């Protein structure tokens, strides 16, 4: 089966995978379904993650040998062979803004919540996520570090406004990103439950910190899917006093909405 979807390439490729799989082959849910049917496994969409793990276990050693990368990148590269460039993956992300002194504690808090939630789902036979989990931290964008007079953060940046930074002493943010692929059963509900748990933690609220979206990833989940929790979005907007300025900038520089998408129109309340 894998030979039937392979394609010859004429030039080197980057990021671990050639990026030449067909549309059908890049649909990992469909590919996994076909493989498990080939080996006589019953259809069970809720167990897609389990079969995906089995697929990786059986094929990755051969892929390591084929790409001659077994000793170079190890298991990190194994995962990239599946998700980089070829597969139509999805993700959700949660951003936490806090003080650098509390970074390690808060990473532990968010990891513990996620680990316990995954285990609780597994005990009920549910597997709502099946990809990488990533934590990445960065200092906040502050104009004074740029070296250019008058520099300011982006209007809807995750870095919060300067007044809040000065009041709270927050100076770092970190992002938790959870990857899955389309048609993974229960992911939206899983994302909402995790987000709600993070927002409820005292270490991540009040003057200790705040939980925000990562703008480029799906957020504001509800039982209707992502980007549907208007109450959460109203709360998010409160953290950005420059929100009206962002809407005004969009009106000024793109009055007809030429470069707007339905998403950023919704995001800015237009």
DSSP string of 224-243, one letter each residue:
TBTT--HHHHHHHHHT-TTH
Least confident of 143-152, 193-202, 210-219: 143-152
Question: Between these two residues, 59 and 1, which has the higher pLDDT value?
Answer: 59
Three-state secondary structure call for residue 111: helix
**Which pLDDT band holds residue 15 (cuts at 50, 70, 90)?**
very low
According to the per-residue pLDDT averaged within each range, which of 53-57, 70-74, 94-98 is highest? Answer: 94-98
CA distance 149 to 231: 37
DSSP bridge partners of 177: 93, 134
Give the pLDDT score at 17: 41
Residue bearing the bigger pLDDT, 22 or 111: 111
What share of residues in the chain are helix, strand, coil (percent, to 5)? 45, 10, 40
Among the listed ranges 48-62, 105-119, 225-239, which one has the minimum average pLDDT value?
Answer: 48-62
Domains for the chain: give ranges and CATH numbers: 2-83 (no CATH), 90-239 (3.40.462.10)
> Are residues 233 and 136 in contact, defined by beta-carbon separation less than 8 angstroms?
no
Residue 78 pLDDT > 50, yes or no? no
pLDDT of residue 71: 44
Structural tokens at position 134: 């990533």
Q: What angle do CA 40, 60, 54 make, to 5 degrees?
A: 35
The pairing of strands 172-180 and 133-139 is antiparallel
Whether the pLDDT of residue 197 is over 50: the answer is yes
User: Which of 82-96, 140-154, 250-264 has the least mean pLDDT?
Assistant: 82-96
pLDDT over 50 (residue 81): no
Positive or negative CA dihedral for 221, 224, 230, 232? Answer: negative
Average pLDDT over residues 123-137: 86
- More confident of the two residues 73 and 10: 10
**Which tops the pLDDT comparison, 148 or 56?**
148
Mean pLDDT value across residues 66-84? 47
Residue 64: both structure tokens together: 């390591």
Angle CA(140)–CA(226)–CA(96) in degrees, nearest 5? 20
**Cα distance between residue 170 and residue 158, in whole Å:** 12
- Decide if pLDDT at 120 tops 60: yes
pLDDT of 99 above 50: yes
């Amino acid at each position: 089966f894998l030979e039937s979807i392979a394609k010859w390439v004429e030039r080197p490729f980057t990021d671990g995978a050639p990026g030449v799989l067909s549309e059908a082959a890049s649909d990992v849910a469909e590919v996994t379904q076909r493989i498990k049917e080939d080996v006589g496994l019953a259809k069970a969409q809720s167990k897609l993650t389990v079969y995906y793990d089995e697929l990786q276990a059986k094929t990755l050693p051969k892929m390591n040998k084929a790409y001659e990368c077994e000793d170079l990148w190890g298991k990190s590269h194994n995962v990239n062979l599946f998700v980089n460039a070829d597969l139509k993956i999805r993700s959700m992300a949660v951003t936490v803004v806090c003080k650098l002194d509390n970074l390690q504690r808060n990473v532990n808090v968010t990891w513990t919540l996620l680990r316990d939630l995954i285990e609780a789902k597994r005990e009920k036979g549910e597997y709502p996520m099946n990809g990488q989990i990533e934590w990445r931290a960065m200092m906040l964008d502050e104009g004074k570090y740029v070296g250019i007079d008058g520099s300011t953060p982006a209007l809807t940046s995750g870095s919060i406004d300067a007044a809040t930074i000065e009041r709270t002493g927050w100076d770092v943010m970190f992002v938790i990103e959870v990857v899955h692929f389309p048609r993974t059963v229960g992911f939206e509900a899983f994302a909402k439950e995790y987000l709600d748990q993070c927002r409820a933690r005292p270490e991540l609220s009040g003057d200790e910190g705040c939980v925000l979206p990562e703008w480029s990833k799906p957020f504001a989940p509800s039982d209707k899917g992502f980007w549907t929790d208007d109450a959460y979005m109203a709360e998010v907007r409160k953290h950005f006093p420059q929100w009206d300025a962002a809407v005004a900038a969009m009106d000024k520089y793109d009055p007809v909405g030429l470069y707007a998408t339905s998403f950023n129109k919704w995001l800015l309340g237009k």
